[in-house]
């Protein structure tokens, strides 16, 4: 009688007990990651960008990614399932506003550094964890301090001359915006345009204090 071909059971490694060295190692990594997230988000990002909404997003995302990656260390999953879990971040969309590129770069940064801090084991890769965190923090500091040290304020206005929105007339548009707002405008971004009402939403990036500067909440829904 032929032996039946038995399918081997799944090799599942459950989470370690609370009183184990692995658990305390994970607590140490979580504390390290939280300190690095605070340095990146509160110490570096908020110092030069001053946007509390993105600060909240970066901290929460970093913590969640760390916990997710930490659990993946103890539960052996297939590569397809792991990629599927991380694909969740690819389908998340900010439906209420357009996220600037710099804020997306910070968000990607906290996701990456949290994954590194969670997946690498302190007992085996301690020097690489410390090097990666110090390098990332140092790189951000140098970029913000040396290359992007000019602080720009943001204001969104409604502009009523859509004829100046043509690329060939952007120089005239910039002069018109400076004369209209009396601000030292460095650059601008054209948002939602309504040619029927002859209106356009324009984001102004300007240097200086701006006595009446405030944080605006944009409710435009950009459906692609």
**pLDDT tens track of the chain, all 224 residues?**
444 455 444 444 556 667 777 788 888 999 999 999 999 999 888 887 777 778 888 899 899 888 888 877 766 555 555 556 555 555 555 544 566 778 888 988 998 899 888 888 887 888 889 999 999 999 999 988 887 766 677 888 999 888 888 888 898 999 999 998 888 888 888 888 988 888 999 988 887 655 444 444 444 444 44
Q: Is residue 191 part of a domain?
A: yes
Residues 51 and 79 in one domain: yes
- What pLDDT does 83 receive? 58
Residues 126 and 171 in one domain: no
Residues 173 and 113 in one domain: no
Final residue belonging to a domain, choices 123, 147, 171:
147
With b meaning 16 or more CB within 10 Å and e meaning fewer, what string describes 88-118? eeeeeeeeebeebeebeebbebbbebbbbbb
- What pLDDT does 133 receive? 94
Residues 73 and 91 in one domain: yes
- What pLDDT does 136 receive? 93
Q: Is residue 181 part of a domain?
A: yes
* Alpha carbon distance 34, 38 (integer Å): 6
Q: Is residue 3 part of a domain?
A: no
DSSP 43-94: IIIHHHH--HHHHHHHHHHHHHHHHHHHHHHHS---HHHHHHHHTHHHH---
| Crossing angle (nearest 10°) for helices 122-142 and 101-119 | 160
Residues 78 and 33 in one domain: yes
Tally of structural domains, the chain: 2
DSSP 211: T
Residues 170 and 126 in one domain: no
Backbone torsions φ then ψ of 184, nearest 5 degrees:
-85, 80
Q: Is residue 4 part of a domain?
A: no
Closest CA to 223 of 98, 99, 111: 98
DSSP 215: -
- What pLDDT does 164 receive? 87
Q: Is residue 213 part of a domain?
A: no
Q: Is residue 16 part of a domain?
A: no
Residues 27 and 46 in one domain: yes
Residues 46 and 112 in one domain: yes
Q: Is residue 14 part of a domain?
A: no
Residues 95 and 194 in one domain: no
Residues 49 and 138 in one domain: yes
Q: Is residue 222 part of a domain?
A: no
Final residue belonging to a domain, choices 132, 147, 162:
147
**Structural domain for 174, as ranges:** 153-207
Residues 35 and 130 in one domain: yes
Q: Would the pTM of this model clear 0.75, i.e. be above it?
A: no
Residues 141 and 188 in one domain: no
Element spanning 133, H or E? helix 122-142
- What pLDDT does 219 receive? 44
């Amino acid at each position: 009688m032929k032996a039946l071909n038995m399918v081997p059971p799944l090799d599942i490694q459950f989470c370690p007990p609370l009183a184990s060295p692995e658990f305390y190692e994970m607590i140490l990594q979580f504390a390290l990651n939280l300190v690095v997230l605070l340095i990146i988000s509160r110490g570096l990002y908020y110092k030069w960008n001053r946007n509390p909404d993105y600060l909240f997003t970066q901290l929460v995302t970093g913590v969640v990614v760390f916990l997710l990656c930490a659990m993946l260390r103890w539960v052996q999953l297939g590569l397809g399932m792991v990629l599927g879990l991380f694909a969740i971040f690819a389908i998340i969309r900010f439906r209420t506003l357009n996220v600037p590129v710099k804020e997306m770069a910070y968000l990607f940064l906290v996701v990456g550094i949290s994954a590194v801090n969670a997946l690498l084991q302190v007992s085996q890769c301690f020097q690489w964890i410390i090097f990666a965190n110090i390098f990332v923090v140092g790189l951000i500091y140098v970029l913000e301090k040396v290359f992007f040290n000019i602080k720009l304020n943001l204001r969104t206005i409604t502009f009523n001359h859509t004829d100046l929105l043509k690329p060939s007339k952007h120089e005239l548009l910039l002069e018109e915006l400076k004369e209209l707002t009396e601000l030292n405008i460095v650059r601008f971004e054209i948002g939602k345009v309504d040619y029927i009402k002859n209106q356009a939403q324009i984001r102004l990036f300007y240097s200086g204090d701006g006595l009446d500067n405030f944080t605006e909440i944009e409710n435009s829904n950009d459906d692609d």
